[in-house]
Amino acid sequence: MAGPSGTTLALDGDGLETVIAAVRQRGYTVIAPTVRDGAVAYEPITSAAALPRGVGDEQGPARYRLRERDDDALFGFAAAPSSWKRYLYPPATTLWRARRDEHGTLLFDESAAAVPRYAFLGVRACELAAILVHDRVFAGAAHPDPTYAARRRELFIIAVHCGSPSGVCFCTSMGTGPRAREGFDLGITELLDTATPRYIVEAGSPAGLELLESLAASPATVQDLEAAQAVTDVATEHMGRHLETGGLPEMLQRNLEHPQWDDVAARCLSCGNCTMACPTCFCSDDVEAQAPDGETSARVREWASCFSHDFSYIHGGTVRETVRSRYRQWMTHKLGTWWEQFGTSGCVGCGRCIAWCPVGIDITEEAAAIRASDGRGRGSA
């Protein structure tokens, strides 16, 4: 399981503190899991002491609870409620500002905010896959998004190969986990085979290799590498969900009038929770933020949801008037037409949309129900 550099070290618990210190010395703000308001949250930390020691979670349809583990694992939970995208693609971004000077002339300012240097610690394979999806959308396009591209260039990623999938995880179905294969600077596997956790750390980039070589640690042994591989092998066997992906885009397109869309619409609240929690959804609105004095204004990009009634509004009315049409648009785009646009699926199998749907709608069950009666619809219009 050595990274692309071929360098893999074994660290004890204190070694993780050394990694954090080394990253901070290089000018990064470390964003990592911590516990806040009864949930795991990705927040700035300065020490490994802030990580969720001995904390696990229980996730199911419309259910998320933290639980106490019987060990001292620091990464013994699945995906957190909020994804990393809020640091690379913020919920609100000021695109430009306008003001009137003393002569009444309208002046525009497109100055971008200072670019933060983030180091993400604890990125799961599914979440890393989501970042790579956004790389294609925002950084690899003909016209890159300046906010995302600038923050992405400064990013240092420390992935954690997942050993604790939840009841809603299906990353194995999507080919995105539980072991991260690319896109990280350092990759960590947490081993719980001693009284305190220890860590197998591999370099995945030149920057990761430089940092790893600065640490005073022993090379991982063959036994260490086998133990690290076993962690994700066990996780693969304990996925909470499964999604059959063979021919999925085509199957959905030939079932656009399937009665299952009516069934899910009867339950869906069109609240947009699934899109806000999703690590790949990126719909947005541009809104005016005008000061009360009328002298200054700003154009702000805000996260939006295709489940909102007005999201598809054009001159003359809303294109997707019903909940049925909005859910169908979201699911068929996520699992189907993303391939046509971006060459990949829009779903990474993290299960957040299942856990954070207030009524527990399960995208894997909806897809399976349509597949089970493929062609039952009234046509494909």
The H helix count followed by the E strand count for the chain is 14, 16
**146 vs 32, 85, 93, CA distance in Å?**
24, 15, 11
Percentage of the chain exceeding pLDDT 90: 81
pLDDT at position 284 over 60? yes
The pLDDT, as a whole number, for residue 325 is 95
Q: Please state, as a whole number, how many other Cβ atoms lie within 10 Å of the Cβ of residue 164.
A: 21
Q: What pLDDT, on a 0 to 100 scale, did the predictor assign at position 295?
A: 80
pLDDT tens readout for residues 90-126: 999 999 999 888 887 888 888 878 899 999 999 999 9
Distance CA 248, CA 377 (A): 16
**Mean of per-residue pLDDT scores for the chain:** 93
Query: What confidence tier does 5 reach under pLDDT thresholds 50, 70, 90?
Result: very low
Cα gap 18→40, rounded to integer Å: 23
Q: Does the structure show a pLDDT above 70 at 280?
A: yes
What are the extents of the domains in the chain?
Answer: 8-237, 248-372
Alpha-carbon gap, residue 54 to 73, rounded angstroms: 5
The Cα–Cα gap between 279 and 83 comes to 5
Which of 240, 225, 146 has the alpha carbon at shortest distance from 191? Answer: 225
Query: Which pLDDT belongs to residue 378?
Result: 52
Mean pLDDT throughout 229-249? Answer: 96
Q: What is the arithmetic mean of pLDDT over 218-224? A: 94
> What is the average pLDDT across 308-322?
88
Residue 3 has pLDDT above 80, yes or no: no
Q: Mean pLDDT throughout 72-91?
A: 96
Least confident of 6-20, 155-169, 183-197, 228-242: 6-20
pLDDT of residue 183: 96
Q: Residue 6's pLDDT is what?
A: 55
- Decide if pLDDT at 311 tops 70: yes
Residue from 36, 17, 62, 97 nearest 167 by CA: 62
- How would residue 241 be classed by pLDDT, with cut points 50, 70 and 90? very high
